[in-house]
């Protein structure tokens, strides 16, 4: 879009300039060629008229013909001597000017002509000897016409830079040649007038290009400057204060860039907020086991009863294990986003992945007299693109949560299948279920709602949060809902896009 605008403006101006130059060169060449053709025709007609005229009428005829055609007509004999001249007894029909004696305006115009000819690569005609020669050997076209009987033409350049056209034709039956010469100053005048007209058009084009450039500057440079200032403020650490302009009316690359920067800054603000909230939650979660540790350590010095000391040592071991679990889970949660952004996703068969984890889940579930059931899909149907280790940890967290909330003798059912363009993993338990009001909260970090029968501190409250971040990092979604069969319990559903076409 923007590229097309810029190219169109530049190509438009260049095309007008190039077109005017080559048009003017073609126009000049056509005028010159037509002048040469006219000179050949006039020379032939004058030679024929001269051959029919009486000897006493020939001088008057040449003068009249030269005056009407604004040319100089001369007749040379076979020995090269000048026999007749149309200028004899009359005023010259053209003149040759010495450029050294002309004013600066003429000289400037001549230099423009030279520049134009050099620009188009035009070949200059040979210069005319100044002053004109008075013998036939000064005019090679005349000698060729006398010997060959054909009309010969030649184009030269007059001293002042104008086209000088000559044409020679033999006079029938008299072994003589007629030479017609013309200083075609009119051709140069017409070309210069045309060049002036094209110059005005070119100036108008340049002015239009300048206006269009200002328009582009207003529609490109100014929005980019606004975006650059906003990005600079974000870089200075003021992301929360910055509102990057979204430019909703722009449908080109600038608009796409503005909306991308706005979304990026919003994501950065959200990440900063999440980081600060996470740090506050970590501080809060670490204070409880640390306070318990401090209390137990302080009490050890004052307790002599061996049974009570053993009880305090058990509290210390429990709190140390709890702290260790918290630190491991906190470290995993904090580096999850960075690791997922660097991970190279490969095809992962979720059916095979889950099947390989069933034995470990059954051993864990047996401690609570809970059964595990897995409906193994057909091989190769539940394939997603992702990091196998991270996906395994996310699914393990969901199943571990289901085992924790299942009653004794309960059943945890796990399924994986491809449905249309999605691969879905479902985990169902027979626990109390999740109330509608809490279905968004359970995925929050350090969510503390646990079964009453579970030992305090056994879970860090990060399992479901890690699972949600992992699934979303794989461009998937996770949700919790009621079981589809109407029985008590929760059903977690993980949805991934199938990478296959």
In the chain, where are the structural domains located?
2-196, 249-342, 345-501
Instruction: Specify the range with the lowest mean pLDDT, choosing from 96-100, 390-394, 450-454, 481-485.
Output: 450-454
Distance CA 124, CA 132 (A): 19
User: How is residue 379 written in tokens?
Assistant: 């091989």
Check if CATH label 3.30.450 holds for domain 2-196.
Answer: yes
Whole-number Å distance between alpha carbons of 433 and 277:
28
Asked whether the beta carbons of 142 and 152 are under 8 A apart, the reply is: yes
- At 240, the pLDDT band (50, 70, 90 cuts) reads low
> How much is the pTM?
0.47
Q: How confident is the model at residue 66 (pLDDT cuts 50, 70, 90)?
A: very high
Stronger pLDDT, 132 or 141, i.e. the higher one: 141
Residue 120: predicted pLDDT: 64
Q: How far is CA 146 from CA 80, 152, 165, 186, 208, in A?
A: 10, 9, 18, 29, 58
Q: Say how many C-beta atoms besides its own lie within 10 A of residue 203's C-beta.
A: 10
**What is the percentage of the chain residues whose pLDDT exceeds 70?**
81
Q: What is the pLDDT of residue 445?
A: 66
239 pLDDT above the threshold of 60: no
Q: Average pLDDT over the chain, rounded to whole?
A: 80
497 bridge partner residues? 422
Measured from the Cβ of residue 483, the count of other Cβ atoms closer than 10 Å reads 16
Strands, sheet with 422-428, edge to edge from the N-terminal-most edge strand: 371-375, 411-419, 422-428, 490-497, 477-482
- Evaluate if residue 130 carries a pLDDT over 90: no
CATH number of the structural domain 345-501: 3.30.565.10
Tokens of 498: 């199938």
Lowest-confidence range among 106-120, 157-171, 426-440? 106-120
> Residue 258 has what pLDDT?
78
* Residue 91 to residues 72, 165, 299, Cα–Cα distance (Å): 10, 20, 137
Helix (H) or strand (E) holding 463: helix 463-473
C-alpha angle 159/165/166, rounded to 5°?
A: 115
Quote the pLDDT of residue 47: 92
**Do the domains 345-501 and 2-196 match in fold?**
no
Q: What is the average per-residue pLDDT within 39-48?
A: 93
Q: Are 227 and 243 in contact (CB under 8 A)?
A: no
Number of H helices, E strands in the chain: 11, 12
Q: Identify the pLDDT of residue 454.
A: 47
How far is the C-alpha of 116 from the C-alpha of 396, rounded, in Å? 81
The CATH number given to 249-342 is 1.10.287.130
Query: Got the DSSP string for 373-420?
Result: EEEPPPTTSSEEEE-HHHHHHHHHHHHHHHHHHSPTT-EEEEEEEEET
Task: Measure the CA–CA gap between 398 and 393, rounded to whole angstroms.
Answer: 9
**191-217 per-position pLDDT tens digit:** 878 777 777 877 777 777 777 777 777
Model pLDDT, residue 18: 66
Other beta carbons within 10 angstroms of residue 400's beta carbon come to 18
Task: Name the burial class of residue 463, with classes exposed (0-12), middle (13-18) and buried (19+) by CB atoms within 10 angstroms of its CB.
Answer: buried
Binned at pLDDT 50, 70 and 90, residue 83 comes out as: very high
Q: How confident is the model at residue 182 (pLDDT cuts 50, 70, 90)?
A: very high
- Residue 70 is predicted with a pLDDT of 92
Q: What kind and span of H or E run contains 250? A: none
Distance of CA 370 to the CA centre of its chain: 59
Strands 371-375, 411-419: pairing is: parallel
> Could you give the count of Cα atoms lying within 13 Å of 238 in the half-sphere of its Cβ?
10
- Tell me the average pLDDT across 437-453: 65
Cβ-proximal residues to 342 (8 Å cutoff; 6+ apart), any chain:
none
């Amino acid at each position: 879009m923007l590229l097309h605008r810029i190219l169109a403006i530049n190509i438009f101006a260049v095309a007008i300039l190039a077109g005017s130059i080559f048009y003017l060169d073609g126009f000049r060449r056509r005028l010159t060629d037509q002048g040469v053709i006219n000179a050949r025709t006039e020379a032939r007609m004058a030679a024929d008229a001269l051959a029919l005229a009486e000897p006493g009428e020939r001088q008057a005829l040449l003068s009249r013909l030269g005056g009407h055609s604004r040319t100089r007509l001369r007749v040379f004999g076979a020995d090269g001597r000048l026999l007749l001249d149309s200028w004899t007894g009359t005023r010259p029909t053209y003149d040759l000017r010495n450029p050294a004696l002309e004013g600066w305006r003429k000289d400037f115009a001549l230099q423009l002509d030279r520049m134009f000819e050099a620009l188009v690569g035009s070949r200059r005609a040979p210069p005319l000897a100044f002053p004109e020669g008075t013998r036939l050997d000064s005019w090679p076209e005349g000698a060729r016409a006398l010997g060959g009987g054909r009309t010969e033409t030649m184009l030269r350049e007059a001293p002042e830079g104008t086209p000088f056209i000559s044409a020679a034709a033999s006079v029938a039956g008299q072994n003589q040649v007629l030479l017609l010469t013309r200083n075609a100053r009119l051709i140069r005048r017409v070309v210069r007038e045309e060049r002036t007209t094209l110059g005005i058009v070119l100036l108008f084009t340049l002015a239009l290009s300048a206006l269009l450039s200002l328009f582009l500057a207003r529609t490109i440079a100014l929005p980019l400057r606004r975006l650059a200032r906003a990005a600079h403020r974000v870089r200075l650490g003021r992301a929360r204060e910055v509102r990057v302009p979204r430019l909703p009316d722009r449908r080109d690359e600038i608009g796409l860039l503005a909306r991308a920067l706005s979304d990026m800054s919003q994501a950065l603000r959200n990440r900063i907020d999440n980081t600060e909230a996470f740090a506050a939650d970590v501080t809060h979660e670490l204070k409880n086991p640390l306070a318990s540790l401090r209390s137990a350590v302080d009490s050890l010095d004052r307790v002599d009863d061996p049974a009570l000391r053993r009880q305090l040592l058990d509290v210390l071991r429990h709190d140390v294990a709890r702290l260790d679990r918290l630190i491991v889970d906190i470290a995993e949660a904090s580096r999850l986003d960075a690791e997922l952004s660097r991970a190279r996703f490969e095809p992962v068969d979720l059916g095979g992945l889950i099947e390989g984890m069933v034995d470990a889940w059954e051993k864990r579930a047996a401690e609570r007299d809970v059964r595990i059931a897995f409906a193994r899909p057909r091989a190769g149907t539940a394939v997603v693109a992702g990091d196998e280790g991270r996906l395994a940890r996310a699914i393990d967290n969901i199943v571990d949560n289901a085992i924790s909330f299942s009653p004794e003798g309960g059943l945890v059912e796990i399924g994986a299948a491809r449905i249309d363009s999605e691969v879905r993993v479902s985990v169902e338990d027979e626990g109390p279920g999740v109330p509608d009001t809490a279905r968004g909260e359970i995925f929050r970090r350090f969510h503390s709602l646990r079964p009453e029968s579970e030992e305090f501190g056994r879970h860090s409250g990060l399992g479901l949060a890690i699972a949600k971040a992992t699934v979303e990092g794989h461009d998937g979604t996770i949700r919790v809902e009621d079981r589809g069969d109407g029985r008590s319990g929760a059903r977690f559903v993980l949805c991934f896009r199938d990478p296959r076409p």
